[in-house]
Homo-oligomer: A and B are copies of this chain.
Amino acid sequence: MTYCVGIILDSGLIFASDSRTHAGVDNFASFCKLSLFEQTGDRVIVLLSSGNLGGTQAVISHLRQQGARPDCPSLWNAGSMFDVALLVSDAMRLVDKRDGPHLAKNESGFHASFILGGQIKGEPPRLFRLYAEGNFIEAGDQTPYFQTGETKYGKPIIDWAITRSTTLGDATKCVLVSFESTMRSNLSVGMPIDLICYPLDSLAVTMRRRFDPGDHYFTALSKEWNAGIREVFSHLTDLEW
């Protein structure tokens, strides 16, 4: 399984992904699922990958190869984040066309999906979620986030705490708590956690962090959080019977 979250706030974007891949409990490994395309002052584009690793890696490799050819439409010269989403979608369909029939023989299939977000100079930040078929949706005001993979355990905390006006700092802590609750309940989601916090109009990545197992901040945050919510419960109005 996988857990990825992308959030769009008035003040910027947050991206986070776990690193566990597995094909059974006795066959797991760590791979970074966060891919960054950054040209300081011009664009910051982040992709979070879920699903079949062979598929997601192939999509990213296609996008990077396109980007290396100056004459080719690519993530480096796309005029908008919508055009970027179209390019990612095209790459997904290319990989599906090549691999899909072979995977289908094994009752498998092309199950890659992505959270895509970022900002291109002249546009506000935007956030998309691309499905395995290559179609996609864009985040709005009512639902300012997307999750992929093992989404259920970590959803309530985001619903409770995050609106478009939440600060980047508070939303970052919320995302980490969302990962804590997911990893606690699903062994197939695991550290390291990769995190990027992107402030509006910065057009550069200045806040990127990897949380390895035993990370001091993450461990301390979990403890503070547990103590904090027990305190909240003790102060909520008691039920009268």
Contact = CB atoms under 8 A, between A and B. Distances in A.
Nearest to A209: B241
Contacts of A240: 217
Interface stretch (A31-39, A59-67, A228-236): A228-236
A206 B241 contact: yes
Sort A-B residue pairs by CB-CB distance and give the 3 closest, nearest first. A156-B181, A152-B152, A228-B232
Contacts of A174: 233
Given A152-B152, A153-B152, A209-B239, A229 B232 contact: yes
Interface residues of A, number: 43
Given A156-B185, A159-B181, A236 B225 contact: yes
Contact of A232 (B181, B217, B220, B225): B225
A237 interface: yes
Interface of A: 152-157, 159-161, 169-170, 172-174, 176, 181, 184-185, 197, 206-209, 217, 220-221, 224-226, 228-241
B241 A197 contact: yes
A221 B173 CA distance: 23
Number of copies: 2
Given A156-B184, A161-B229, A224 B239 contact: no
Given A221-B237, A228-B235, A235-B228, A185 B173 contact: no
Contacts of A197: 241
Nearest to A180: B156
Nearest to A221: B236
A239 B185 contact: no
13 contacts: A159-B181, A161-B226, A161-B230, A170-B233, A170-B234, A172-B239, A173-B238, A176-B239, A220-B237, A221-B236, A225-B232, A228-B229, A228-B235
A173 B206 contact: no
A160 B235 contact: no
A169 B160 CA distance: 22
Contacts of A173: 233, 236, 238-239
Contacts of A152: 152-153, 185
Nearest to A208: B241
Nearest to A167: B234
B225 A160 contact: yes
Contacts of A217: 237, 239-240
